[in-house]
Structure 1
Amino acid sequence: MKITVMTADERIISLDVDPQEIVENVKALLEVETQVPLQQQQLLYHGREARNNERLSSLGVVEGDLIMMTSTDIRFRTGTDNLGLNPDGSAVNPRALQQHIRNDSHLLSQLRQSDQEFAQAILGDNLDAFQNILRRRHQERLQQQRIQQEQLALLNADPFDIDAQRKIEEMIRQRNVDENWENALEHNPESFARVVMLYVDMEVNGVPLKAFVDSGAQMTIISRSCAERCGLLRLLDKRYTGIARGVGQSAIVGRIHVAPIKIGTIYYPCTFTVLDSPDLEFLFGLDMLRKHQCEIDLKQNVLRVGGGEVSVPFLQEKDIPTQFLVEEKFANQGASASAELSSAKKAGSSSTPAPSTGLSQVNSTQGSNQESKIIRLMELGFDRATVIQALTLFNGNEEQAAGYLFGG
């Protein structure tokens, strides 16, 4: 691992050492670099002198750490008080330490690559922020040191101790998870980005709409308010009322058997299930995708309809209305399981009720609850997009999302 040693005469030295190296051998390397005899060197880590027989790992030294070197020789002690660290990890003289690191272009370049936050604090003028980062990193190192000590104690525990073996198993599992996360972050960083759902511009009965294209939904859905805006409620067949069940439930107010939709420049007949849901406006489902031989081309980012006779581009995030993000929560939370549609016979009618079918990602109760959570978290000072992302990350758990927001 690489460590940085700051000497009393305002020099910064980078060393490549083994974590199990003893302090005396590190001093021997520094003697070559600084011409300060090994016996006259004092190495300080977080304000405490490191003894010659101690190993770097036992001191808690990790990759990129800073060690101060002083000397019992008066010739080498100039500036020690200015460049030292306090027991809490902060700098005795932050301005002098900041300027010292600025003067080392090699070290500054390394920091820009490995620790951008610290590099920005060094280059900035906010000494409080600089000191806070030093203190925080000190606490992180202490915490890591405690964890390492606990792990070492577990490894030295009685092999027949069931509790100890369970903790070792969990420690190994967590290490594998952390390695998997680091690999994903390095090789597949786009997997951590928020996925924007697929929307296209359509016209329903001559009214322009942003249609949510969802091949996981078994039926094409329109909300009651949207159907009213499009002038379609006059065609509503109320025999097809019931309850759509999935991650929650939503009232089905009926069905519109056929109405024109315009995709690109061509009109197509479409069947709609009408829901009394405030969180969903218009969803273009699998039934109509199949009927009109649609293709979702993610490479070209277009929806092809009618076997390719017309293509319309999927909307970019900036073109999607903010309120439509509520719809995306259903997809992000994995609410793609099929729901049940219970059709009820119209009172006094002798007609045969419509057969049951499937529906997905429809849940007005869930949407209402989620919107309440969003509002409460926004009242704590966070913007809507950040709140939605946090709730999505923790599957709608408000307390965990709040902890993540405050901790971030």
Structure 2
Amino acid sequence: MRVSILTDQGDIHTIEVDSQMELENIKALLEADCHIPADEQVLLHNNRELQDPKSTLEANNVAPDDILTLQRRSNKQRTSISTITPGSGAGPSVHPGQIAQGGGNPHDAEQIRQHVISNPSLLRQLRETQPELAAAAENDPNRFHEMIRELDVQRRSAEMARLQEIQQLNADPFDLDSQRRIEEAIRLENVAANMEAAMEFNPESFGRVTMLYIDVEVNGHPVKAFVDSGAQATIMSPECAQTCGIMRLVDRRFAGIARGVGVAKILGRVHSAQIRVGKELFLACSFTIMEGKGVDLLFGLDMLKRHQACIDLKKDCLVINNTEISFLSEHELPHSAKDNPEVTPEELAAAAAGKSAEAQELTSSSSPSPSSSAAVPTDVTSATSATSTTITTEPNTLAQATTPSAETYPEEHIQSLMALGASRPEVIAALDAAGGNVDYAASFLF
């Protein structure tokens, strides 16, 4: 029969034994597998210690696929630290959400604390995910040791619950619901394994990519322009147009509503204005003045095709008429273009609520009024009958519209995301923002 052994360090060993095998022989096998001397082993079954070394498994009511807990009698448990990301520098690599101590040895907990406070990157991550634990590591060693013991108890309880759930799911192989849950558990394990493999062999995929910006001058005013080949038109914000002194040239007959993955109000169009790109390259350009936030000037596909521009990523420049205009480095980007990695659960919840409200607004605005019998273009509702404009943009230029957030999510999804080190409110907020997609929610948490 098969028996699972759960150690103090959270390791699981599965052994095939006979039901008539005596406990002393079981301990001899475990000594080879777990490297714990037989005289220091304590075996527990249903929280009851198996004491008689001559008794058999059957005599102790141990059934096939049962779980035995193995503890060390000398209480010299070692610390269990789960490695998630490759560390930089000396010492083990620790994920702040998975710091746990096995057995409550104060010396081991103090080693963890010293490692945390000596690693600025790990301490910063710990402040973001578990601020109370980070504060205890810096200011209250006793409280830190106590929290580590609590984390270890939670980890063991979760592992035991997981093993019991596996046993329950395997009890009836013809239960369709159990098979679905097994399938989802296997999928999540594959996702975690895929992420770990990517972190080990392709860590650059987790790096941050800066957007493509160039320096231009519009009517003598310097502007950092976002080069976006996915935008159909060159777009300028009303604030930037006011600063550059071209707001007076806006043709409001071209006003309307732009629809893509979101909606935005078009104030009008400036048909022609001269911009300077680089040192001596002057180009004629037209701008669509559109409300929004985040981008002052978006250099769209119309300008790129009109001047036969080439985005050369190898040279990291934009080539126009054989003139190379270097893209801005990260420290030169405007503040709105710099990513903010610290996103609070409140911000995630607010973003999800905003997307839901925007989706409802989009639905209501797309319904034609009874008094209007004229055909209206699908992408743009023109303010006048004179003109209509179609503009397509990427998600970074318009707010996204998604379906309303769900009220509840499967508990296994929540638990799998909490295993990454996030709290339950953070997981719920991430799932709201991701529309219930577990993979997207995990990327939000990271």
TM-score by length of 1: 0.61
Q: What SS does the aligned partner of 1:290 have?
A: helix
Equivalence map 1:108-257=2 (5 Å): 126-157=141-172, 159-257=173-271
1:285 Cα shift? Answer: 0.6
1:89 Cα shift? Answer: 6.5
Q: Which amino acid aligns with 2:15?
A: Q
Q: Counterpart of 1:13?
A: none
1:136 Cα shift? Answer: 1.1
Greater mean deviation of Cα atoms: 218-227 or 355-364: 355-364
2:67 to 58, 70, 73: 58
Q: What SS does the aligned partner of 2:308 have?
A: coil
Q: Counterpart of 1:360?
A: 393
Q: Distance in 1 between the 2:288 and 2:443 partners?
A: 38
Are 2:15 and 1:20 aligned?
Answer: yes
1:249 Cα shift? Answer: 1.8
1:286 Cα shift? Answer: 0.8
**Residues 243 and 363 from structure 1, CA distance in 2 versus in 1: closer, same or farther, beyond 3 angstroms?**
farther
The answer on whether the counterparts of 2:216 and 2:275 sit within 8 Å (CA) in structure 1 is yes
Q: Distance in 2 between the 1:406 and 1:269 partners?
A: 41
Are 2:318 and 1:323 aligned?
Answer: no
Q: Counterpart of 1:387?
A: none
Cα RMSD of the aligned pairs, angstroms, is 5.3
Q: Distance in 1 between the 2:77 and 2:333 partners?
A: 54
Residues 182-233 of structure 1: per-residue CA shift (max 9 Å, x gap): 2233333333344332212111121111111111111000012211211112
Greater mean deviation of Cα atoms: 283-292 or 225-234: 225-234
Stretches of structure 1 lacking an aligned partner (at least 5 in a row)? 7-15, 62-66, 71-79, 103-107, 334-338, 347-352, 368-389
The answer on whether the counterparts of 1:199 and 1:211 sit within 8 Å (CA) in structure 2 is yes
Q: Which amino acid aligns with 1:68?
A: R
Q: Counterpart of 1:41?
A: 40
Q: Which amino acid aligns with 2:106?
A: P
**Residues 300 and 394 from structure 1, CA distance in 2 versus in 1: closer, same or farther, beyond 3 angstroms?**
farther
Q: Which amino acid aligns with 1:295?
A: C
The answer on whether the counterparts of 1:249 and 1:363 sit within 8 Å (CA) in structure 2 is no
Q: What SS does the aligned partner of 1:359 have?
A: coil
Residues 32-90 of structure 1: per-residue CA shift (max 9 Å, x gap): x89x7x4x434479x986767689993467xxxxx5343xxxxxxxxx6xx579xx977
Q: Distance in 1 between the 2:428 and 2:277 partners?
A: 34
Larger gyration radius, structure 1 or structure 2: 1
Equivalence map 1:247-326=2 (5 Å): 247-265=261-279, 266-306=281-321, 309-325=322-338
Q: Which amino acid aligns with 1:313?
A: S
The answer on whether the counterparts of 2:379 and 2:390 sit within 8 Å (CA) in structure 1 is yes
**Residues 201 and 42 from structure 1, CA distance in 2 versus in 1: closer, same or farther, beyond 3 angstroms?**
same
Equivalence map 1:73-84=2 (5 Å): 83=76
Paired residues, number: 325
Q: What SS does the aligned partner of 1:219 have?
A: coil
The answer on whether the counterparts of 1:198 and 1:314 sit within 8 Å (CA) in structure 2 is yes
Q: Distance in 1 between the 2:296 and 2:161 partners?
A: 53
**Residues 177 and 203 from structure 1, CA distance in 2 versus in 1: closer, same or farther, beyond 3 angstroms?**
same
**Residues 205 and 59 from structure 1, CA distance in 2 versus in 1: closer, same or farther, beyond 3 angstroms?**
farther
1:283 Cα shift? Answer: 0.5
**Residues 304 and 23 from structure 1, CA distance in 2 versus in 1: closer, same or farther, beyond 3 angstroms?**
farther
Residues 311-364 of structure 1: per-residue CA shift (max 9 Å, x gap): 22222332223234599x9xxx9xxxxx92344447xxxxxx345333314899
Q: Provide the identity percentage.
A: 35
1:177 Cα shift? Answer: 2.5
Q: Distance in 2 between the 1:256 and 1:177 partners?
A: 49
Stretches of structure 2 lacking an aligned partner (at least 5 in a row)? 1-5, 17-24, 79-99, 127-133, 344-351, 353-377, 401-426
Greater mean deviation of Cα atoms: 195-204 or 353-362: 353-362
Q: Which amino acid aligns with 1:341?
A: V
Q: Counterpart of 1:11?
A: none
**Residues 319 and 357 from structure 1, CA distance in 2 versus in 1: closer, same or farther, beyond 3 angstroms?**
same
